[in-house]
């Protein structure tokens, strides 16, 4: 009886060739967002000529990027050459909608890619292009950036608010929003319960944005503010909840451990810490967003990185917390919670 001969798998360079053009999708999306393509199409299907007239752009330029967006499944085109939004782009790429996720994309060409172009040198030296977690170099960047990333954290912040379930009756509940930025975590928590009073901590250059955003949501009287660096500012004490929304990745291991210990001291007995991060698994084989973000921290911070649930849980226990646990939430990673005994 003849034995079957296995046909060797043909190795091709297809994935590598695709990655050679990997910079194209975010830049095409950015151009479309900046020229309001998705906003204009939100009112209905239009020809490229109609979109060009509405956006004061060239037919040639729009044709190129809108066809690319069809190929990327962010737009559709019918038999009459009319372009329309897909459900995905309608939900997440129209700037006026609460689910808008294009804030990060808007920074690609001006802030992200120019720094990443120095990656080879950064790998050689281990030194970042700029340390955005340091006030001198990062304050101006985050002053503009925190509002653009508000929609990325808002669903997770709302999920945390439901998980905490502070209710509508009872004495005030004090919440500490660390490196508050836009105030997204405190805003969602204050919206969920009239009991919540938020103390927002951030650099003096960023706090005006926090004040403006909390006021826009009608929550100005529920917020107080502490200006300063996280490692130097006096947080006070007695908080029921402290949020660290995407902060540890920029600080590095040593400063993260110090910050967790400081946060422990700021909480009341029975208080909860909530940490949002781009997480990796303990073997550092995935997920890709966490692995990519570790490289982003290499480029943009002195000691930043991404970590696993296991690593952060160990730091929490070392700081005195108990019951480190995860809860699912919208976004790339679950939230990590722990309790001060």
What would the pLDDT profile of 249-264 be if each residue is shown by its tens digit? 999 999 999 999 999 9
- ∠118-124-128 over CA atoms, to 5°? 50
119-339 is classed CATH 3.40.50.620: no
- Residues 49/38/23/108 CA torsion (nearest 10 deg): 120
Every domain of the chain with CATH number 1.10.10.10 lies at 24-102
Residue 316, CA distances (Å) to 56, 60, 254 in order = 54, 55, 13
Domain 24-102 top-level CATH class: mainly alpha
* Residue of 333, 253, 330 lying closest to 91 (CA atoms): 330
Helix (H) or strand (E) holding 152: helix 150-164
Q: In what order do the strands lie in the sheet with 173-178?
A: 223-227, 196-202, 173-178, 239-245, 267-276, 335-339, 322-327
Every domain of the chain with CATH number 3.40.50.150 lies at 119-339
- Residues 300/301/302/304 CA torsion (nearest 10 deg): -130
Peptide bond into 287 cis (omega under 30): yes
Per residue of the chain (341 residues), give pLDDT as tens: 556 667 778 899 999 999 999 999 999 999 999 999 999 999 999 999 999 999 999 999 999 999 999 999 999 999 999 999 999 999 999 999 988 999 989 889 988 999 999 999 999 999 999 887 766 655 666 667 788 888 889 999 999 999 999 999 899 999 999 999 999 999 999 999 999 999 999 999 999 999 999 999 999 999 999 999 999 999 999 999 999 999 999 999 999 999 999 999 999 999 999 999 999 999 999 999 999 999 999 999 999 999 999 999 999 999 999 999 999 998 779 999 999 99
End-to-end CA distance of the chain: 71
d(CA 21, CA 11): 20
Kindly report whether the global pTM for this prediction surpasses the value 0.75: yes
What would the pLDDT profile of 255-288 be if each residue is shown by its tens digit? 999 999 999 999 999 999 999 999 999 999 999 9
């Amino acid at each position: 009886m003849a034995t079957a001969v296995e046909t060797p798998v043909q190795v091709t360079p297809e994935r590598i060739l695709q990655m050679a053009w990997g910079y194209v999708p975010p830049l095409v999306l950015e151009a479309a967002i900046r020229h309001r393509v998705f906003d204009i199409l939100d009112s209905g299907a239009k020809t490229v000529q109609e979109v060009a007239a509405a956006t004061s752009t060239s037919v040639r330029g729009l044709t190129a990027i809108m066809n690319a967006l069809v190929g990327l499944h962010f737009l559709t085109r019918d038999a009459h050459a009319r372009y329309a939004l897909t459900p995905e782009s309608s939900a997440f790429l129209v700037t006026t909608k609460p689910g808008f996720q294009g804030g990060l994309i808007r920074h690609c060409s001006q802030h992200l890619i120019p720094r990443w172009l120095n990656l080879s040198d950064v790998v050689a030296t281990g030194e970042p292009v700029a340390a955005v977690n340091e006030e001198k170099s990062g304050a101006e960047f985050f002053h503009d950036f925190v509002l653009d990333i508000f929609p990325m954290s808002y669903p997770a912040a709302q999920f945390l608010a439901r998980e905490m379930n502070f209710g509508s009756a009872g004495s005030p509940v004090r919440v500490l929003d660390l490196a508050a930025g836009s105030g997204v975590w405190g805003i969602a928590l204050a919206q969920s319960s009239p009991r919540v009073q938020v103390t927002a901590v951030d650099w003096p250059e960023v706090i005006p944005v926090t004040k403006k955003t909390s006021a826009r949501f009608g929550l100005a009287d529920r917020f107080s503010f502490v200006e300063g660096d996280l490692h130097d500012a006096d947080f006070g004490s007695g908080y029921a909840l402290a949020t660290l929304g995407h902060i540890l990745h920029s600080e590095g291991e040593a400063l993260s451990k110090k910050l967790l210990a400081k946060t422990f001291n700021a909480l009341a007995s029975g208080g909860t810490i909530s940490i949002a991060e781009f997480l990796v698994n303990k073997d550092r084989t995935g997920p890709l967003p966490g692995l990519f973000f570790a490289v982003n921290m290499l480029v943009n911070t002195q000691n930043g990185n991404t970590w696993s649930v296991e690593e952060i849980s160990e730091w929490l226990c070392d700081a005195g917390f108990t019951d480190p646990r995860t809860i699912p939430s919208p976004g790339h990673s679950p939230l990590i919670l722990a309790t001060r005994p």
